[in-house]
Structure 1
Amino acid sequence: MFDAPFEGLGFFAMTATAIFLEAAPFLLLGSFLAALIECFVPPERMQRLFPKRAVPGVLAGLFAGLFLPVCECGIVPIVRRMLQKGVPPASAMTYMLAAPIVNPVVMASTYTAFQGDWFMMAARTAMGAVTALGMGLALSRLSAQDILLDPAGHGPACACGCGHDHGPTGATGAGTGDAPACAPVTARARITAVISHTAGEFLDMGGMLILGSLFAAAFKTLTPSTLLTLFETDPLLSIMAMMLLAILLSLCSEADAFVAASFTTFPASAKLAFLALGPMLDIKLAIMFQAVFTRRVVTALLIVPPVMVFVLSYALSLFGP
């Protein structure tokens, strides 16, 4: 592809660095918001927000992503706690799939990555919402016992970071129930907990972002032009290839739009398939699913979202712009 090895190496380094630097601020913002939820919004308080009936429940789970934005990197433990604390499965499972896509940070990063393309942002949000609603309705008849491997669970961690269950009021001190005593929660402890969670989340997913940036840059640098032409001209192949890439790269939803946008020669339908599927299913999520959910729920999560995303993406390639 390049006449000189150093020219190709320079292009690779420039592309990888550009992708990472564009995406890193959004990943940091997403990590900060996730830390705020982890430290200040105990999942048991969420159940008051979610109706018991299936249709209102899935809609509530969908819109919760706007106000409780969490990327897919930390969504599974949160949803497990929600189910253990009585949140209806229809709401919790819809929220799990929708929150990494239907949230302001991801919308902003997608809009920025695609240089102000409102269609890409809206289409990604719509595809994620439709898939999440479908899965939420499909699982709405199940109970927490049918969904979770460990329905009983354990007490939630308090905002001070000690890991104790202080009950619904968060009371502390010796002799106040079964929970061990810890020091009263101070403003400094809360700030320290937020900073610690933010740093840990950013560093964990920053490694994934670096890997994704390197992979995307290597793909653009090393892939023969004839192979790229084949993907460009065949919507079916391009959609399947980008869906597989989304699963393998396991990128954070706050940063994956910048990687998708770097595949400039691929059709919009293929890039949307990448953006819609990745936050709902990738390698790390598949592992977490098997550790938290029952076998039939895991099977549904591994099959239904890819099928729905493929159908929606292929329909867009036939009838869309």
Structure 2
Amino acid sequence: MPVLVVTIVGLTLAGTTLRDAVATRSLIATAATVFCGIFVQALPFLVLGVLVSGLVAALVTPDRLARWLPRRPAAAILVAGVGGAALPGCECGSVPIARRLYADGAVGAAAVTFMLAAPAVNPVVLVATAVAFPGEPSMVLARCAASFLTALTMGALWARFGRPGWITRRTAHPHAHSGSRWVVFTEAARHDFLQAASFLVLGAAAAALLHIVVPAWMYDHLAGHLVLGIAVMAVLAVVLSLCSEADAFVAASLSMLPLLPRLVFLVVGPAIDLKLFAMQVGMFGRAFALRFAPLTFVVATLVATGVGVAVVGHR
């Protein structure tokens, strides 16, 4: 937080100098316009998302979630997927909740489903997607359907093939919160905002660089080779590690590409990226993450491509 405050004050004091430097260089001005457009549009949804995530952390405990789950695997997976939509949260919050929720059998498969559904299929993310893609309601529908199917598929695969021995990290049973719900809410919201905002800055900067560094013929090549474009956007989603409340604005800024590769970007990112892989290693263990992350990447890419072809076509 002190570093953030000092940085903001320093940039404010240097604002006039920086503005003049940007205004005299057309490429930098273009990049700055793209960066500011993405950041300003995404920030309100990012704030709303972390506030909701903080409320979930303060009011809904993993023990309470576990009591709501049916014991039959199929029913538990479906309820967890719907619960992820009803209890929205950032990716960073869904992994610890899923780890505390995890148990063998039906609850274990449901925990995996919840971990993938909560950051991807919730009202904040879907509204942000609608705002980022005005006049394209099919993108909202396709993102919701593909993300939900990805979560259900991974939950079903875990119920069928998952092994408790792959979970090598043990967590102590959480005690009652030492602080009030207000303290839990503010700490969770502050943590999620700082982490998510930092990745939003990196993502907006990367999108701005892509606009000025990558030549136009390369985008034309990707647009003409749909499979290559899908693969590139899936890998880009993993590398950028954007928050799900903000990634739609980055995807919308890449208007040089068809909708289908950008849909894959929106489905893969909340399912698996570099920060999520690191968190899964820390929470579940290396054996789990090395199996779960590659499979999630493949499933999310294939499901998003299939749903995208059916809903948005090749545009």
TM over 0.5: yes
Q: How does 1:97-112 map to 2 (within 5 A)?
A: 97-112=116-131
Q: How does 1:157-172 map to 2 (within 5 A)?
A: 158-161=176-179
How many pairs were matched up? Answer: 290
Deviates more, 1:253-262 or 1:33-42: 33-42
CA distance in 2 between counterparts of 1:202 and 1:296 reads: 30
Structure 2 unaligned blocks of 5 or more:
1-22
CA distance in 1 between counterparts of 2:213 and 2:126 reads: 31
Q: How does 1:135-150 map to 2 (within 5 A)?
A: 135-141=154-160, 145-150=164-169
Q: How does 1:304-315 map to 2 (within 5 A)?
A: 304-315=295-306
Q: Which residue identity is paired with 1:34? A: S
Structure 1 unaligned blocks of 5 or more:
162-188
Counterpart residue number, 2:20 = none
Structure having the larger proportion of residues in helix: 2
CA distance in 1 between counterparts of 2:269 and 2:212 reads: 23
SS at match of 1:78: helix
Over residues 83-130 of structure 1, what are the superposed CA-to-partner deviations in whole Å (9 max), with x where a residue is unaligned? Answer: 159971121111111111111111111111111421101101111111
Q: How does 1:34-113 map to 2 (within 5 A)?
A: 34-83=53-102, 88-113=107-132
C-alpha change, 1:294 and 1:203, in structure 2 (3 Å) is closer
Counterpart residue number, 1:156 = 174
1:262 equivalent in alignment to 2:281: no
1:248 equivalent in alignment to 2:239: yes
Give the superposition deviation at 1:291: 1.9
Counterpart residue number, 1:168 = none
8 Å CA contact 2:72–2:106 kept in 1: the answer is no
Among residues 212, 229, 246, which one is paired with 2:220 in the alignment? 229
Counterpart residue number, 1:289 = 280
What is the TM-score normalised by the length of structure 2?
A: 0.85
Percent of pairs identical after alignment?
Answer: 35
C-alpha RMSD over aligned residues: 2.2
8 Å CA contact 1:47–1:86 kept in 2: the answer is no
> 4+ residue stretches of structure 1 with deviation over 4 A?
84-87, 141-144, 316-320
8 Å CA contact 2:77–2:106 kept in 1: the answer is no
SS at match of 1:252: coil
Name which one, 1 or 2, has greater alpha-carbon Rg.
Answer: 1
SS at match of 2:102: helix
Counterpart residue number, 1:175 = none
8 Å CA contact 1:146–1:294 kept in 2: the answer is no
8 Å CA contact 1:107–1:125 kept in 2: the answer is yes
What is the TM-score normalised by the length of structure 1?
A: 0.84
